[in-house]
Amino acid sequence: MAGRTVQVRGFPAELPPDRAADKLTIHFLRSRNGGGEITDVRVLPGPQGCALITFEAPEVARRVLAVKDHQLSVGGKKFPLEVTAHVEELSPDEVARGSSL
């Protein structure tokens, strides 16, 4: 998933997770938004709307990150989205396995 996943914030948290995932999928599939083929959309629980979107190719994630003005339309309202690169946190076990010590 490295380099293919973006974190998205700013959509209404009160949207049911399946509806939020559908709206985000439609937005990030569109080429005008830099989008492309998506392999996974995970809406994270919490008080703020937050999701992780994984694309098939890293270049799609880079294009999405290059777009400066993502806005999601929901119920006639527009919500500005904050899109950032998602950096996976490694567990201590993964760090230990990857080290050359």
Task: Annotate the chain with three-state secondary structure.
Answer: CCCCEEEEECCCCCCCHHHHHHHHHHHHHCHHHCCCCEEEEEEECCCCCEEEEEECCHHHHHHHHHCCCCEEEECCEEEECEEEECCCCCCHHHHHHHCCC
Reported pTM? 0.83
Number of domains in the chain: 1
Judge whether 1 and 73 are in contact, CB under 8 Å: no
In a domain, 99, yes or no: no
Q: What's the CATH number where 21 sits?
A: 3.30.70.330
Q: What is the mean pLDDT of residues 77-95?
A: 78
Antiparallel, parallel or unpaired: β 50-55 and 71-74? unpaired
Asked if residue 60 belongs to a domain, the reply is yes
Residue 93 domain flag: no
Q: Which domain holds residue 12?
A: 5-80
Residue 58: inside a domain, yes or no? yes
Query: Does residue 59 lie in a domain region?
Result: yes
Q: Is residue 56 part of a domain?
A: yes
For 21-71, how does the pLDDT look when each residue is reduced to its tens digit (9 = 90+)?
999 999 999 999 999 999 999 999 988 999 999 999 999 999 999 999 999
Domain annotation covers residue 50 = yes
Report strand pairing: 77-80 vs 82-85. Answer: unpaired
Instruction: Specify if 20 maps to a domain.
Output: yes
Q: Are 52 and 42 in contact (CB under 8 A)?
A: yes
